[in-house]
């Protein structure tokens, strides 16, 4: 069971951590008690070093998210060739404008009471950014350069029994080592696992389900065992129980080791009437392992898994549990907006809830290894995962990128990822790279692709392997695409049909699509198709008609994946806005975060969210009107109105006067909408959007009435011209949170008029105060050019809205959030912090 533990180390300092107790295995998760500094003192690893003046922090910790923003933070002078840049230019906000470059030291004093003579100790880092050098009691225990990967170290020789220990970690982020904001520090969890000398190693189990029928499933298990050199494997036996979601044992098996087993137990168990895992029904099982030497228990270990099948059939697509399944996916970077890279379970689960409501069923972890919390949440909530690895191989994309360590570390990194997540049912595909320059290096790209894919197959023969390639002509001609299990293409959907004819796999994956740019609540006139369009306010139009030079609009992907049976789906760039890559504002500080997201940096859906929802989520009604209807000074001017809906047609009214009925044009095809005139006239959009291009603005009410396929009016919606800003409205994503000091409530903050209509041009500064057993954690408004501090409990709303984040403490009770702004009535929100899990 998980219990809170507070251990006095014989000093004034206390160390707090979670500890998972078992008879033979103990896991400590180190959270509190850490000391941190940005000073790089070469003596910082010594046990007796005086760290009393260092900052006290809680891990996970991202040192850079606290800012301040600055134009010189990792300013890169470069030409991004894949974006078509021919000459080097200044990229001030390419990596977010936050101070992640440099050195950081962490120190922790701890005891491990369960560590006694004959025990083994393993230190596990879920992620440390980056070039981690780990010291235990003054001795270097290990080094791991790649900041996104999980790794573990045997620290048995360095630990002290029954005495305080000192853990020190030096991290260093080099300039020009990333293309986006990577975060900094011990941004994921750190664990210590104490076991017997005979034990199941980290990620030492592998479960597969080779046969799945309606009435039974075969579960094959391979369990490694670490055995001291003076003992034999045939002295040990394993007892394995499989439990369903209710904790009921549904299968059991006992196996005695033999000297022919290479220290690995192989078992086969039968589960009758299996409950399958899918995005719609994320059923999970648990395998509990007990290892005995005679009748003496030596180890206990648990692995969560799911029963499901995956298959890719040429010309037909991707099949999950025998059912054709199309990827309705998004690419997401790892940062959590105003929380930075520091992993947080509540923030991850909020993102997944928002995505699933949109109809999303998959996430690509672009362009790096995911956090364990993300994979666990995807398992439990029902999201398929393309687990990605690298943005760079041996050829250079950034000056201090992964190419420096590729030769020595790529197999280690890839093996760690696969062994870590190969039992998770949500992971359905491995991705070995993204837009690597080897695409243009003749046969080199194909050979290296095979090398990496073979590692994936060696460690996990059950999942297909892909990569994101953005040079379709090159990779088709040099066979780099042909050698992959699944050829993944980034952008250029107009090449799909041509590529399909040349590829032996006879399938196409849109591994990265769209890259449409927009800003929540910003609309530009006239409404015309634009590429790389820039404005004085550093924003992009939410009419969803603007993209980058290499990219396209959502409908250019919709039509391919809907009409071509060999297309297995897409991963949109991106689900959420992220820090860094402020395209098209490469050189235009203070732009420092992306505009690609379907959802903004504050977690607030843009208009585009409802376009995807109307196409992906057929189970729920979508009826969304844009733009807002506060256009003082535009009276009588053409102000187009778009409606995103899953209904086939709708009629628009402005102040009661019909503007006509529109019906989605299903006669539009891939071929008859691909010419330049059709593109400029938004012909393809007519199949998926309802557009009134000639409506004129007059204050009042915009109403839409939607009709089903039989012409029956089935839904309606109105938006109104908002009056004078009157008060602050606060809406929590969850009103009850867990009193664990980590859980979060995300509060949508709106400036509204007396009738409760959003004031869409409001920019009031809002001040927040938290009373009771909670704290103010952070805030964000979705403005990609705002330099306001995320942590300061004061921020301007952007286009009438922002998000405030309230954290629990370790006390149960009431939390009150107050929000005030000049000229506005106060907003008050009551929350509750409780002792039980309320995910």
In three state form, how does the secondary structure of 651-700 look?
Answer: EEEECCEEEEEEECCCCCCCHHHCCHHHHHCCCHHHHCCEEECCCECCCC
pLDDT at 7: 27
pLDDT tens-digit map of 40-85: 999 999 999 999 999 999 999 999 999 999 999 999 988 887 777 8
Tokens of 298: 């030596």
Q: Does residue 731 contact residue 750 with C-beta atoms inside 8 Å?
A: yes
Helices of type H across 704-754: none
pLDDT tens-digit map of 669-715: 999 999 999 999 999 999 999 999 999 999 999 999 999 999 999 99
Contacts of 286 (CB under 8 A, 6+ apart): 242, 243, 302, 303, 304, 305
Q: Does residue 670 contact residue 559 with C-beta atoms inside 8 Å?
A: yes
Q: Residue 275 — φ and ψ, nearest 5°?
A: -95, 110
pLDDT at 81: 76
Q: Does residue 115 contact residue 580 with C-beta atoms inside 8 Å?
A: no
Residue 244 has pLDDT above 90, yes or no: yes
Establish whether 810 is a catalytic residue.
no
Selection from 606, 620, 629, 815 nearest residue 721 by Cα: 629
Q: Residue 240 — φ and ψ, nearest 5°?
A: -120, 130
* Arithmetic mean of pLDDT, 493-502: 96
* Arithmetic mean of pLDDT, 371-375: 98
Residue 419 has pLDDT above 90, yes or no: yes
User: How far apart, in whole angstroms, are the C-alpha atoms of residue 521 and residue 600?
Assistant: 11
pLDDT tens-digit map of 168-208: 999 999 999 999 999 999 999 999 999 999 999 999 999 99
Q: Residue 687 — φ and ψ, nearest 5°?
A: -80, -25
User: How far apart, in whole angstroms, are the C-alpha atoms of residue 388 and residue 423?
Assistant: 16
Q: For 176, how many CA atoms within 13 A lie in the half-sphere containing its CB?
A: 15
Selection from 363, 369, 402, 364 nearest residue 128 by Cα: 369
User: How far apart, in whole angstroms, are the C-alpha atoms of residue 612 and residue 384?
Assistant: 18
Instruction: List the catalytic residue out of 111, 438, 512, 729.
Output: 512
Contacts of 237 (CB under 8 A, 6+ apart): 254, 255, 256, 257, 291, 292
Residue 280 has pLDDT above 60, yes or no: yes
Helices of type H across 236-386: 345-358, 372-381
**In the chain, what are the domains?**
2-66+99-195 (2.60.120.260), 205-305 (2.60.40.10), 310-515+550-578 (3.20.20.80), 624-720 (2.60.40.10), 727-834 (2.60.40.10)
Establish whether 765 is a catalytic residue.
no
Provide the CA 174 distance to its chain's centre, in angstroms. 23
pLDDT at 11: 27
Mean per-residue pLDDT of the chain: 95
Residue 278 has pLDDT above 70, yes or no: yes
User: How far apart, in whole angstroms, are the C-alpha atoms of residue 574 and residue 595?
Assistant: 9
First to last CA, the chain: 18
User: How far apart, in whole angstroms, are the C-alpha atoms of residue 486 and residue 619?
Assistant: 29
Q: Does residue 695 contact residue 636 with C-beta atoms inside 8 Å?
A: no
Tokens of 552: 């396209």
* Arithmetic mean of pLDDT, 806-831: 98
Instruction: List the catalytic residue out of 31, 196, 388, 435.
Output: 435
């Amino acid at each position: 069971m998980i219990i809170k533990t507070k251990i006095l180390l014989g000093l004034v300092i206390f160390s707090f951590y979670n500890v998972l107790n078992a008879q033979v295995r103990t896991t400590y998760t180190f959270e509190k008690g850490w000391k941190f500094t940005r000073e790089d003192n070469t003596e910082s690893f010594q046990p007796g070093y005086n760290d009393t003046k260092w900052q006290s922090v809680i891990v996970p910790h991202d040192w850079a998210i606290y800012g301040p923003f600055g134009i010189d933070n990792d300013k890169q002078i470069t030409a991004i060739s894949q974006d078509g840049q021919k000459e080097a230019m200044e990229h001030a906000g390419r990596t977010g404008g936050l101070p992640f470059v440099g050195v950081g030291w962490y120190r922790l004093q701890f005891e491990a009471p369960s560590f006694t003579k004959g025990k083994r100790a393993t230190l596990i880092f879920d992620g440390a950014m980056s070039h981690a050098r780990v010291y235990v009691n003054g001795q270097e225990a290990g080094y791991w350069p790649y900041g996104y990967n999980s790794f573990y170290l045997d620290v048995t020789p360095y630990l002290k029994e029954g005495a305080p220990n000192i853990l020190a970690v030096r991290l260093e982020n080099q300039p020009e080592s990333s293309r986006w904001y990577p975060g900094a520090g011990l941004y994921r969890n750190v664990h210590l696992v104490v076991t017997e000398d005979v034990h199941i190693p980290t990620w030492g189990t592998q479960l597969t389900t080779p046969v799945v029928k309606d009435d039974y499933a075969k579960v094959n298990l391979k369990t490694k065992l670490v055995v001291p050199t003076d003992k034999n494997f045939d002295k040990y036996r394993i007892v394995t129980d499989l439990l369903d979601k209710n904790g009921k044992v549904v299968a059991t098996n006992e196996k005695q080791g033999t000297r022919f087993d290479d220290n690995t137990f192989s078992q086969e168990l039968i589960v009758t009437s299996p409950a399958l895992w899918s995005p719609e029904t994320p059923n999970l099982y648990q395998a509990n392992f007990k290892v005995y030497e005679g009748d003496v228990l030596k180890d206990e270990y648990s692995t969560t898994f799911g029963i499901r099948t995956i298959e890719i059939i040429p010309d037909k697509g991707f099949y999950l549990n025998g059912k054709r399944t199309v990827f309705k996916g998004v690419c997401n970077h790892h940062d959590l907006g105003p929380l930075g890279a520091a992993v947080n379970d509540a923030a991850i689960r909020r993102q997944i809830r928002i995505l699933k409501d949109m109809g999303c069923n998959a996430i690509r972890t672009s362009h790096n290894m995911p956090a364990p919390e993300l994979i666990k949440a995807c398992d439990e909530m029902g999201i398929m995962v393309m687990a990605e690895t690298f943005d760079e191989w041996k050829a250079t994309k950034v000056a201090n990128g992964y190419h420096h360590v590729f030769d020595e570390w790529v197999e280690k990194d890839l093996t760690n990822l696969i062994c870590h997540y190969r039992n998770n049912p949500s992971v359905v595909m491995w991705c070995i790279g993204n837009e690597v320059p080897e695409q243009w290096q003749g046969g080199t790209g194909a050979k290296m692709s095979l090398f990496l894919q073979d590692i994936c197959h060696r460690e996990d023969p059950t999942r297909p392997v892909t990569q994101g390639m953005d040079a379709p002509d090159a990779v088709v001609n040099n066979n780099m695409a042909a050698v992959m299990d699944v050829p993944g293409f980034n952008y250029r959907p107009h090449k799909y049909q041509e590529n399909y004819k040349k590829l032996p796999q006879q399938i196409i994956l849109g591994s990265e699509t769209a890259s449409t740019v927009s800003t929540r609540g910003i609309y530009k006139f006239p409404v015309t198709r634009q590429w790389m369009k820039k404005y004085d306010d550093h924003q992009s139009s939410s009419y969803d008609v603007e993209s980058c030079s290499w990219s396209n609009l959502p409908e250019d992907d919709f039509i391919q994946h809907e009409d071509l049976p060999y297309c297995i789906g897409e991963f949109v760039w991106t689900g959420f806005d992220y820090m860094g890559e402020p395209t098209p504002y490469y050189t235009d500080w203070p732009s420092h975060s992306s505009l690609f997201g379907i959802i903004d940096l504050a977690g607030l859906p843009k208009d585009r969210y409802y376009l995807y929802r109307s196409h992906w989520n057929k189970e729920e009604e979508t009826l969304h009107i844009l733009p807002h209807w506060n256009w003082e000074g535009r009276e009588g001017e053409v102000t187009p109105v778009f409606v995103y809906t899953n209904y086939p047609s709708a009629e628009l009214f402005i102040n009661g006067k019909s503007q006509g009925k529109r019906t989605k044009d299903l006669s539009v095809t891939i071929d008859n909408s691909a010419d330049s005139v059709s593109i400029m006239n938004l012909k393809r959009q007519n199949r998926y959007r309802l557009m009134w291009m000639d409506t004129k603005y007059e204050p009042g009410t915009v109403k839409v009435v939607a009709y089903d396929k039989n012409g029956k009016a089935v839904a309606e919606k109105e938006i109104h011209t908002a009056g004078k800003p009157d008060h602050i409205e606060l809406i929590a994503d969850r009103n009850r949170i867990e009193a664990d000091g980590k859980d979060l409530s995300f509060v949508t903050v709106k400036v509204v008029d007396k009738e409760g209509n959003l004031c869409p041009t409001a920019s009031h500064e809002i001040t927040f105060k938290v009373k009771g057993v909670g704290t103010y954690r952070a805030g964000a408004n979705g403005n990609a050019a705002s330099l306001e501090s995320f942590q300061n409990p004061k921020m301007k709303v952007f286009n009438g809205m922002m998000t405030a984040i309230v954290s629990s403490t370790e006390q149960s009770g009431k939390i009150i959030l107050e929000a005030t702004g000049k000229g506005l009535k106060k907003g008050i929100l009551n929350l509750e912090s409780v002792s039980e899990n309320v995910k």
